Amino acid sequence: MIALLLLIPACSAVAAFFVASDRGRRALLIGAAGSNAGLSLATWIVQPAPVLGGWLAEDALGRLIETLTSLLFLAVAIYAVAYLAEEQRQPHNDFEEGFIFSNAREASFTGCLLLFLAAMTLVALSQQLALLWVAVEATTLASAPLIYFHRHHRSLEAVWKYLLICSVGIALALLGIFFLAVAATNRDGSSIALTLSELILNARQLSGPWFKAAFLLLLVGYGTKMGLAPFHAWLPDAHSEAPSVASALLSGALLNCAFLGILRVQQISVAAGLAPFGDRLLLLFGLLSMAVAAVFISGQTDYKRMLAYSSVEHMGILAVGVGLGGAAVFGAVLHIINHSLTKAMLFLVAGNLLAVNRTKNTAEISGALTLMPVSGALWVFGLFAIIGSPPFGPFLSEFVILKAAIDQGHVLVAVIYLLLLAVIVAAMTAPALAMAQGAPAKGALPPATRSVALSAVPTTLGLAVLVMGLYLPPVLARALREAVRHLG
């Protein structure tokens, strides 16, 4: 089953480059995404056997990330089929600078989408830390062409920034793997295998100084990919210039994969009795990320960049939750799901707003509720969800983290956490609501007939966000508890 989880998207990706028919290629995309999602759900019933000597296996945390990724990808794939049908017309007129540009070939975009799914699946299934590093690097290579779908200078600059900054980060992570290998080498020359199970089992034998250095390098390396401040510089440009389909996956799925890399090292840290070292670093970078997001969201006039900085904020919340430990870890893992669903919905809705209003400037959009009622309502719905309002899922997970901070006596952390959340709520609410209310902006035209999928997919994601705030299914609660069991 594990082999199929990887081979179906990988082989479909190769086929997508050679299928001449647009309809055939889009059917392939939906078929591969649906098959991957079906297999992922099946792993909740039948535990798949490990392969490659345990290098590829599915534990509770990996299953959670893998299933979330596959379901999110299926939703985005359905949206992408309608989006690509609308983007067939070539060339395009750039609405910001007025020049003419073309999009990349649809076959290349579809193939890279499926390769991206295969790479993210490999991240979730990797139990060997060097293989995990390879998988994270593969996600960079597969996703870069998605950012450069619109072939113009801004997206080219964004993709180069993405590649350069993430390459530096991934190089530091590789150095962290080397340090971890040194930490796992005994005085007699024997060494502990770099599989997660072996490292956790023999964690007390690891060299403390070498492991701490490895932890720091891996945190910075994977933190760069995750969008933790101050390593987040690639994220606003990439999310702003990529098509909304890619932005939804970058924010909703890719950031989780990088965070999983950090969680794997934290699992070893807890087993080695060095959890306080990692906890302090995660708290520091988490609060710093929230503070940086609060600064850049304030006064932000580009709504896609505003969503990107919101992702920096929520990655900070995840780091704070894991850094606090205890019940906050449950909140952090729950927040992975809530943030992914909410942010993917918001980026897809942002794509709808952009297609009709042809601007990313918040001041130039108004009356979205009148001009396009479904997308306008979803925009408001998503806004209240992402800022942590009840009764949506993000409120529940953010509240669990806050309560854990207070219960543990981290009053200062709780106060800073609340203050930063309040600043971000105020900074996002005014411009986002102004986009939805009032009369449509002068020159804005009612949308032409568009595919139902462009509204149905974000609506489905929005309903999932609402359900997550009202009811946590027992099977999911058990899975969350199992996932956090090794994280302190």
Residues 486 and 196: beta-carbon distance below 8 Å:
no
CA 70 to CA 36: how far, in whole Å? 6
| Other residues' Cβ atoms within 10 Å of the Cβ of residue 451 | 15
Is residue 341 within 8 A of residue 464, CB to CB? The reply is yes
Give the pLDDT confidence score for residue 90 in this predicted structure: 62
Q: Check whether 406 has a pLDDT greater than 90.
A: yes
Judge whether residue 87 has pLDDT over 70: yes
Name the pLDDT band for 33 (thresholds 50, 70, 90).
Answer: very high
Instruction: Give me the DSSP letters along 396-423.
Output: HHHHHHHHHHHHTT-HHHHHHHHHHHHH
| 380, pLDDT greater than 80 | yes
**pLDDT tier, 191 (very low <50, low <70, confident <90, very high otherwise):** confident
Q: Read off the pLDDT of residues 260-272 as tens digits, 9 standing for 90 and up.
A: 999 999 999 999 9
Q: How many other CB atoms sit within 10 Å of the CB of residue 155?
A: 21
Compute the Cα dihedral for 255, 258, 263, 264 and give only its sign: positive
- pLDDT at residue 71 greater than cutoff 90: yes
Helices of type H across 128-274: 129-147, 153-183, 196-201, 208-226, 234-241, 244-249, 255-271
Task: Note whether 324 and 404 are within 8 A (CB).
Answer: yes
Q: Are 242 and 158 in contact (CB under 8 A)?
A: yes
Q: Over 70: is that where the pLDDT of 136 sits?
A: yes
Q: How confident is the model at residue 333 (pLDDT cuts 50, 70, 90)?
A: very high
pLDDT above 90 as % of the chain: 69
**Residue 124, amino acid:** A
What pLDDT does 99 receive?
75
pLDDT at 15 over 90: yes
Q: How far apart are CA 463 and CA 102, in angstroms?
A: 35
Confidence at 446, pLDDT banded by 50, 70, 90: low
Give CA–CA dist 170/189, Å, rounded: 28
CA–CA separation, 99 vs 152, rounded Å? 9
Mean pLDDT of the 380-396 span: 94
Q: Over the chain, what is the mean pLDDT?
A: 91
Which of 180, 115, 165 has the alpha carbon at shortest distance from 141?
115
Pick from 191-195, 240-244, 412-416 the range whose average pLDDT is largest.
412-416
pTM for this model (two decimals): 0.94
Phi, psi at 92, each rounded to 5°: -115, 150
pLDDT at 26 over 90: yes
pLDDT value for 339: 96
Question: What share of the chain has pLDDT > 70, as a percent?
Answer: 97
The pLDDT confidence band at residue 444, using thresholds 50, 70 and 90, is low
pLDDT band at 250 (very low <50, low <70, confident <90, very high): very high
Q: Answer whether residue 487 shows pLDDT above 80.
A: no
Please report the pLDDT score of residue 63 as a whole number. 93
Is the pLDDT at 448 greater than 80? The verdict is: no
pLDDT of 355 reads 85
Asked if residues 367 and 441 have their Cβ atoms less than 8 Å apart, the reply is yes
What is residue 427's predicted lDDT score, i.e. its pLDDT?
94
Decide if pLDDT at 88 tops 80: no
Is pLDDT at 224 greater than 70 in this prediction?
Answer: yes
pLDDT at 464 over 80: yes
